[in-house]
Chain A
């Protein structure tokens, strides 16, 4: 590969950030074979052959000598002309540059531009060594988190640096362009090996992505730098720099993971203690340390999720979703989901409870984008024990919500209580046919056996009460119950069977 970059690529390179096109420019421009310096506009350049002519002292871009210089540079075979300063050219010079097809550039620091071009064309190894050394030096002085490391790398390269997941999703740093993600993902292997060479991905628009695998504690991710155009020396240098940066990124990832797990364990164990009766003094103190308010009125929330889930890792998303809805919730990793609660100083009114439930629903909607979450919300309960009781209700509600797609997998145990919720469930389309099938054998029998069964179960299996309610003789009631057990083939002393029949009788009666 030739080491000569195009003018267009140089204009996008970090060393030429302050270079602008003043006239005669066309994409992608000529190849720049090198750079020559001239002190003043009055000079007479010779034999430039595809090089850039750099003029260090230029007082006035509308001066006639600029026109003369454009003419002389073109005659000497210059690829382009770089002037000091970025003031616009005179019209004549612009027209002349277009006519002679000579791009005229301007820069406040032409000497720096000259040196950079000389380096990338004549000394690509120096560019690489310089970048790597700078990266090492900068990383040694970097004590911050992952983002600081990425920013340091981006500063050294003068290019955006991204930490991307194996699906191309951005984990940190500059987000990747949506249309470039698939190209990158297609080019990268699913299971990288540590010693693999960095990957170079050529994008359709002429840009290049360099990717280096970060192997650490968690899933594989990629350190990606995007170069908008090919400057060969830079393309050769960036993989080396990323290779130096990758271990530092891996270290930061592992540290963060460790921190997350430690915090999660701390929270989970504290919650476990809260759920087991009145908290001890030590527990209260630890709760204060974590910023948990034990007194007041609590609303428990249980967020469950289907599928494998990194509960500790994704906690931040949950907290963020609550924050976005203006809810200050304590979120604790528990089992295959999160337990959360919101604390109010005084007892919330019915309207407030409704509003809060609506807000929690919106939280769920935010989460659903990334997590297959189902949510249960408990009733408001006071005091430290309230956390436990409300969370227990929320857990039950979540269990119900999981199977109820028609309510958006969201259930709120409001004032009516859980029993009503269950009852409501018996009116669903799934349960009713089952109930009818269960009671079908006694449906058309004489003596209104269905009503008798319902009353019998409602009156806690008391024959006397049943007879009283129905206005029949006690023996009649006993005979009917006997017949029901016979026809249905059930044993009414079995609690499971009794519950099923009780619910079924409620359904058919209404």
Chain B
């Protein structure tokens, strides 16, 4: 069994997002924002609801919640992301803070959401417990993660290409499994362990519409952290082969003059009793 040093992984992700912040929106924004309505419906976000968007990134969900009239606070541990979020949503309140140590009092929010944040955390169970703590009784929590790489094919083709042409044996701080919460049973178990009830787990059919066959590789190498670091650790020739393989993978999804890649997500929601 691999030993995980949560602090090392936490710092690796935090530093990585400082670098990826300016690229994330262009890289993944067009697909990650597609969850907004389902995520906000799952926490019954309506006008006047006090809503916390954890790991807000460029503030996509915070913005959608504010458009519904919710009283939104967006939180991210990356100063560069907060800057990005504030640039896009100057009227929304943002705070620099950590999902694993929320800077709020108990029962401060009616709803807490996290869009594709959990898979970047060193201590996801702590983050769920923290979300539970800051929710009022009767409040609702929801998060999204990517479906497994066999279904979220943009990830699948990249991971297969790295395995085939490169190496996954790179010196990186070990983190929790990226697709841990893609498994509904694990998600349900973990939410219930954090004290949540009324757990619902379902899949959202997101699609990544791209103009360039290199867009998946570019997104993964610039707009993220963990896969980007694995890619940076490859030899130049391995990297060229990986890039070509991912391009061929994307080209298999040609449609309407561009490319349409299935990128389903798992939406989990629950209530605090």
Are A and B co-members of a single complex?
Answer: no
Binding site for A on B (CB under 8 A): none
Binding site for B on A (CB under 8 A): none
